[in-house]
Structures are given as structure tokens and as C-alpha cells.
Chains A and B, each alone.
Chain A
């Protein structure tokens, strides 16, 4: 089945130690998103790629970076994780950029713990 896969499911990192979360998709969708979701809060969009074009949300901290080496893969790099970065990180894809024209397909998320 075509899907969005996130690895790992759970990630523990130390304060200040760089960490990378990965997302892959078999849907061949043009758009890939990274969301951050803290406990009992709505997901917050960090950035998205439309093909190779990277779009950063204005309030996304510089500590968060992303790479998309090809259509299938997208990575979220947190350069120096702080305790406040502990959250569920959700990857999503869509066929086209407009969320008025295409549903989002989410992965199962990576829960990040910072110790």
C-alpha cells in the first residue's frame, strides 16, 4: 500500500545533541510537510517542500532545518534540541500544494524526547 512512513517511531536525544528524523513516501506526491505537535495542541506547520522548493514558516526557529534529497524522502534536522522541542513530529504529503484541492496524507509521527 502506498503510504507515508516515519522513522523512528520514538526518538530520545540529549539536550543540545543534533537529531535527524526521517520521512519517506511511496505516493509520489509533490509536496511534503513537517508539523510539530505538542501535547494537547494542534499541529503547527514548520515548513514544506513543493518539489525541491523549500518554504519555511516565518515563526519556525533556525534550530530546525530540512532536506529533501529526492521525491521520496524528507528529513527534519534539529541542530541543538532544547527541552521545549520535545513533541510529536508529523510528516505529511499532498499531491498538489493547495489544501483546497488535495487531502493530506500523514505518517504515524515520531515522538521526540529530549533529556
Chain B
């Protein structure tokens, strides 16, 4: 069982819809990363959060450290939001530079 689990694995939406992607993790961490990767492209760091909620434009990320759960929301989705969204948790221990990645959520937004 992966230490970082995302759901759903695939998500299709119509333009304008509100989107939620969930992430649960079993490792003990104090922060979680949300990343975005467009097809064939590099990775963009969207959020790193350790508590509460962060907002950037139409993207909102929330985290509950005690419940080991985080969500990424996209309001008023747009076709350009189509990408793979990945949550990643620091691996901890002596490997502080390491991230454990979720399997990613493939989001497709249709016009």
C-alpha cells in the first residue's frame, strides 16, 4: 500500500465545474506538497501547506494534519486546468530531501 493515496485517479469535468481531489497519507509529516504536471511537461509546485487552508487564484488547498488528509479544490474549472495533480509527502527520517509521491490524479476539463 502506497504511503500517499490520491483519489480519484481520473477525473473528467465540464468547464466551470468545482473540482476536488483528495489525498490521504500514512506517514507522519508536518507539511504536504501539491504539484501540477501538464502532459509532457515539467512539474509546477502549487502549494506547500502544514495547516489550514491556502488559496492561489482559483486553487484552494486544505489540510488536516491530525486526520492525515488534504484536498485540492479548483473553482470555475477551465480546460487549461487539464493536467496531472500530484500530492507528495516528505519522507522524513534522515531523508529529509525526499518526497513520497501519490499516484497522481489525471484531470480533464472539457469546454
Contact = CB atoms under 8 A, between A and B. Distances in A.
A92 B45 CA distance: 10
B45 A107 contact: no
B98 A45 contact: yes
B96 A106 contact: no
Interface in B45-65: 45, 48, 50
Contacts of B33: 99, 103-104
A98 B96 contact: yes
A42 interface: yes
A106 B48 contact: no
A43 B90 contact: no
A104 B99 contact: yes
Give the contact-size bracket for chain B: 20 to 34
Nearest to B94: A55
Contact of A55 (B30, B43, B97): B97
A42 B30 contact: no
B43 A103 contact: no
Contacts of B29: 100
**Interface centre among B41, B43, B103, B104, by most A CB within 10 Å?**
B43
Contact of B96 (A57, A100, A107, A109): A100
B111 interface: no
A68 interface: no
A42 B101 contact: yes
A70 B45 CA distance: 24
Interface string B75-99: 0000000000010101110001111
A103 B35 CA distance: 10
Interface of B: 29-31, 33, 35, 40-45, 48, 50, 86, 88, 90-92, 96-99, 101-104
